[in-house]
Structure 1
């Protein structure tokens, strides 16, 4: 992967932080704090509460969470060797110039890590039908309003994409 422009590198500071021995140690010492700052940075306001985060944070106590997380970011920047068990997949991904399947690409208009300007090359990665939308940050919830927005998004892309109905618990949209 090529080195990004300075502005993108600044948005992805945590990638570079984890590539250093001191950054890796900081993640090992406070994995929950490390994850929490990303939830705060990445989530639209109101998307999660502390109780939800604390329930999810138990997963960060998994013995291999830090090693897997560090390796994932280090390998994408060639700061670590890819896992040999997945080399076949890495090779296949790198050999794939474009995807020919139908796709929908939704870009958050206020994405603090990958803003719309960082996604200009996305259409060139698809040879099949591609619909895209630059959407504002939306809070994910199970409300009727969200289901209505989901249907509106789906129908705006293609009539061939059915709305997400019915709701399992009620059978209603």
Structure 2
């Protein structure tokens, strides 16, 4: 006996609906897998470079155009965990090193001064490029990494193809650091003065993760990072030299501690605020809660091909991690 048409239509609708749900589930699973694929880098590599054994992530073809991406404080290489695969897919060789005092990067000698002054971190990157036999690379950075990227472009332009810098020109000097700022500006640097005290050093050592989490929240007030994301980066602070490097960096800025004489010539050149001549793109988020200069202030510091990009949508200080596609696009565009 023939089945009623409405029964057939009902079953057809049920089958179509079930198929649609299956495909939707597969699509959702694929999207989740894609997101999971970029939650971490592959195996971290190690190489001796200068006075360090440097831990670094590498993605992309070994013969691709080199890109070096530099993290800041209190962050780590995962600032670029979503940027690196975007660039690798475009054929770039992406190197993301742990700075001195972070992750598996270690000093080769116990006798080496745990120096955090600005020029020494740039020297570390030149040594890393030499060790990896990279003659020239596009350099990108955020926070301390942006300062280091600018220093590399200013002092070693022959080693830098192009520059991408979050918050622009961040090169400083001790004399400028000694000058008082208006009270509202000084308030933003509260942690710098905290670190100038022994209480601050002890506090940072005791509450490293709590301190870093607070900075993340203040610097990126609209970035809803979860605990797993924070913990992934906080693992890099479990380094025997982390506290020493951070404290020395901020005390050096105020002229409270000396750097090393072997870097004096670099610091004298940097104190003159050298203009950067290589192609540059600077980036700024609309919700950056950390101290940062206005783009109009530093535009004149770039004399080559130059573009500034403002990002909207609640993007904070850790811009590459909060807006990875925009940062990757800048790296690609600046080299064209």
TM-score past 0.5 threshold: yes
Runs of 4+ in 1 over 6 A off after TM superposition: none
Q: Is the 8 A contact 2:204 2:211 kept in 1?
A: yes
Q: Distance in 2 between matches of 1:56 and 1:150?
A: 19
Q: Distance in 2 between matches of 1:48 and 1:89?
A: 38
Residue 5, structure 1, aligned to residue 5, structure 2:
no
**Aligned pair partner of 2:201 in 16, 19, 24:** 24
User: For residues 154-173 of structure 1, what are the structure 2 equivalents within 5 Å?
Assistant: 154=330, 161-162=335-336
Which residue in the other structure is 1:121 paired with? Answer: 297
Identify, as 1 or 2, the structure richer in strand. Answer: 2
Which residue in the other structure is 2:269 paired with? Answer: 92
Distance 1:17 1:150, change over 3 A: closer
SS of 2:304's equivalent in the other structure is coil
Q: Distance in 2 between matches of 1:46 and 1:113?
A: 13
Q: Is the 8 A contact 1:106 1:135 kept in 2?
A: yes
**Aligned pair partner of 2:248 in 48, 67, 71:** 71
Higher CA-based Rg: 2
Q: Is the 8 A contact 1:105 1:132 kept in 2?
A: yes
Q: Is the 8 A contact 1:140 1:146 kept in 2?
A: yes
Which residue in the other structure is 2:239 paired with? Answer: 62
Distance 1:50 1:127, change over 3 A: same
Q: Distance in 1 between matches of 2:263 and 2:249?
A: 12
Return the offset for 1:67: 0.7
Distance 1:49 1:17, change over 3 A: same
CA RMSD of aligned residues (A): 3.1
